[in-house]
Amino acid sequence: MDAQGRGRAENIDPADQWVLNPSTGEYELRLTPSAPQSSVPRPRRSGPRAGGGSRGGADARSGAPRDRATAPRREEPETASRDIPSPRRRRGEPEPLPGRRNRRPVKKKSKAKKILLWTGGSMAFILVAVSAAAYLYIQHLNDNITSVSDDGASTGGFSKDKAINILLIGTDKRTGKGNEGYGDAGSVGHADTNILLHLSKDRSNATALSIPRDLIVNIPDCPTKQADGSEKVIPGTDNVRFNTSLGQDGRTPSCTVRTVTALTGIRPDNFMVADFNAVKTLTEAVGGVEVCLGKNIDDPDSHLKLSKGTHNISGEQALAFVRTRHAVGFGGDLSRIGLQQQFLSALMRKLSSNSTLSSPTKMLKLAETGTKALTVDSQLDSIGKLKDLGLELGKLNPKNLTFTTVPVLDNPAEKVKVTVVLNEAKAPAVFQAIKGDVSFSDVKKKQKAAKDAQAALLKGTKSAASEVRVRILNGGAVAGSAQETLQWLQNDAGVAKSENAGNAPAELSKTTLEYAPDQAAQARRLAAIMGLSGSAMKPGKSVINSQGLPAMTLTLGKDFKGAGVSLTTPTKAPDVDKSTADKVTCAK
């Protein structure tokens, strides 16, 4: 049937044949007769009204069949839209209420869920606020830090997997509130207190080596970066006091670092500089430190006045304690070093104590004070880097922190003894022990391990010196070292079958001796002559010398100190005066 015949084919209106089935929610075709239709087309009717039956069915109120011919027809406006049948319900879904077939029931949020939502939102806001506050505070601490360039004097910063060497410099520059009355008000400052702190690779021990300010040294040339970015080389000076390595002639802390390296052979990783105010504010931040005096002290020069016994000192009193020298010992700088070591021991104990670590107030105050009080090198210029260093230092037990002083002698060139000179008989062993990461507090385990390693390679027969054949290479030692060693071996050690083979293909940090298995006896003899340790022995293969004969290879590394100077790494700390941070020694 086409559109033109609509309503005229057998007098059946097609719209009357499609009826909504309330059980399925779909229209169904019913081929029941209908009353004659008007020939005038009209809009299709929508589905049944709510409460009404389908066309051709029973009347909703009486239940009697409704006569299409007589029942009044309600015409709908042409603009009315057709009702869209509601979607089919899923199995188990409840029957929708009358008049709401096209709406799904709205789920109400429980009170508990509302509370959770509010709580979660509040916590998220708090976390964001706290994170923002923490970030701003960290930025504030970073802004507190004063840093200066290391001018390439240091190693470039400490490493977590290596031993750490930090140079602590105390300057006597009279800056800051309350420091004008200490004299030398216009001084640019000196390297008045100097401590090289060595933290072992395994963090089991540390050594704090004090360097006397009045020690006569040679200060090397010092390249320094100027404010405009240019570089200026400050000329070095020989036979002057160590404390002139800072401040004088425009020298920066990097010059002090270079002087320490030239003196000890140990290159610091980082440095920190503290002035008078640092001593005062740091002790106040931790609530004071405990020191002990073996006698009454009244020193008008340092303004220290304390009775015999134990005292908790901070602020001005703490500064006076580390500055006094005339009232203790022999009245010189060496006596004052003992007081400074006692003070630092007390500060170390206080910093590692529960009373400090468990107090958020003290920790925040310490962070605030520490970042303002210290000047650090450019490799420690953020709170993150300082935190990492603090965590490494925090692994140390104070009882394994040993304080000692560079061995010195009175300057023989002076009638009135004021300055001191290096004790050449003892000082090199101290420097070598620190450089070799030897503990000054507990060395039993390291002694055994080193002895076992050396015994495995050095134990056995040794050839005569005249039978030793060796080629000498320079692998990082001072220029001319290979020729110097050759002459010493031939003229003084009886190793005539030796020759200078020039420079090695690569630099080595340590001197090595490579030999073939059948040259072991020769290697033991040369090791004994050179003072090589078992770690320097490298079993391998021989090389052919200029005579066409197999020879060993001796490569002089950066640790080479000169012909005839033993290269054996010490396994035991030298016998020097020392103290540990876990004990209190009363100053007298």
Note the residue count of the chain.
588
| DSSP H or E stretch at residue 421 | strand 420-422
**498, β-bridge pairs:** 470
Nearest-angstrom CA–CA distance, 209 and 192 = 14
**Residue that is written with structure tokens 């719209």 in the block:** 15
C-alpha 504: how far from chain center: 36
Q: Cβ neighbours of residue 575 under 8 Å, at least 6 residues apart?
A: none
Other C-beta atoms lying within 10 Å of the C-beta of residue 548: 6
Encode pLDDT of 437-448 as tens digits. 888 876 445 555
**pLDDT at res. 37:** 46
**Residue that is written with structure tokens 């188990």 in the block:** 92
B/e letters for 195-225, b = 16+ CB within 10 Å, e = fewer, are bbbbbbeebbbbbbbbbbbbbbbebbebebb
- 269 backbone dihedrals φ, ψ, rounded to 5°: -85, -35
pLDDT-based confidence at residue 259 (cuts at 50, 70, 90): very high
Indicate the SS3 state at residue 232: strand
What whole-number percentage of the chain has pLDDT above 90? 35
Encode pLDDT of 58-111 as tens digits. 444 444 444 444 444 544 444 444 455 555 555 555 555 555 555 555 555 566
| DSSP H or E stretch at residue 115 | helix 111-144
**pLDDT at res. 514:** 95
Q: DSSP string of 446-499?
A: HHHHHHHHHHHHH-S----GGG-EEEEEESSSPTTHHHHHHHHHHHTS---EEE
Nearest partner of 556 among 567, 543, 569, 570, judged by Cα:
567
Q: Are 488 and 498 in contact (CB under 8 A)?
A: no
Q: Return the half-sphere exposure (C-beta side, CA atoms, 13 A cut-off) of residue 330.
A: 7
Evaluated on CA atoms 284, 193, 271, 211, the torsion sign reads: negative
Nearest-angstrom CA–CA distance, 362 and 325 = 31
Q: Are 522 and 552 in contact (CB under 8 A)?
A: yes
Helices (H), 286-422: 315-323, 333-351, 354-357, 360-373, 383-393
Nearest partner of 246 among 353, 359, 169, 156, judged by Cα:
169
pLDDT of residue 311 exceeding 70, the answer is yes
Nearest-angstrom CA–CA distance, 515 and 468 = 11
pLDDT of residue 181 exceeding 60, the answer is no
Q: Are 558 and 507 in contact (CB under 8 A)?
A: yes
**215, β-bridge pairs:** 420
Domains of the chain (ranges; CATH) run 1-93 (no CATH), 146-435 (3.40.630.190), 445-556 (3.30.70)
Q: Are strands 164-171 and 270-274 parallel, antiparallel or unpaired?
A: parallel
Answer with the residue of higher pLDDT: 478 or 588. Answer: 478
Mean pLDDT of 170-188: 61
For the record, the structure tokens of 131 come out as: 């994170």
- 224 backbone dihedrals φ, ψ, rounded to 5°: -130, 145
**pLDDT at res. 62:** 43
Nearest partner of 370 among 358, 355, 357, 387, judged by Cα:
387
Encode pLDDT of 322-373 as tens digits. 888 877 777 678 888 888 888 888 888 888 776 666 677 777 788 888 888 8
pLDDT of residue 164 exceeding 90, the answer is yes
**pLDDT at res. 71:** 46
Q: Distances in Å between the alpha carbon of 26 and those of 65, 76, 432?
A: 23, 22, 98
Question: Which amino acid belongs to residue 258?
Answer: R
Name the least confident of 104-108, 556-560, 575-579.
104-108
Torsion angle of alpha carbons 193, 198, 199, 200, nearest 10°? Answer: -160
| DSSP H or E stretch at residue 144 | helix 111-144
Indicate the SS3 state at residue 554: strand
**pLDDT at res. 570:** 65
Q: Are 206 and 394 in contact (CB under 8 A)?
A: no
Q: Please, what is the average pLDDT of the chain?
A: 79
3-state secondary structure 153-203: CCCCCCCCCCCEEEEEEEECCCCCCCCHHHCCCCCCCCEEEEEEEEECCCC
Nearest-angstrom CA–CA distance, 479 and 344 = 41
Encode pLDDT of 501-520 as tens digits. 999 999 998 899 999 999 99
Answer with the residue of higher pLDDT: 243 or 178. Answer: 243
Nearest-angstrom CA–CA distance, 217 and 243 = 10
Q: Are 114 and 56 in contact (CB under 8 A)?
A: no
Q: Are 346 and 583 in contact (CB under 8 A)?
A: no
Question: Which amino acid belongs to residue 336?
Answer: R
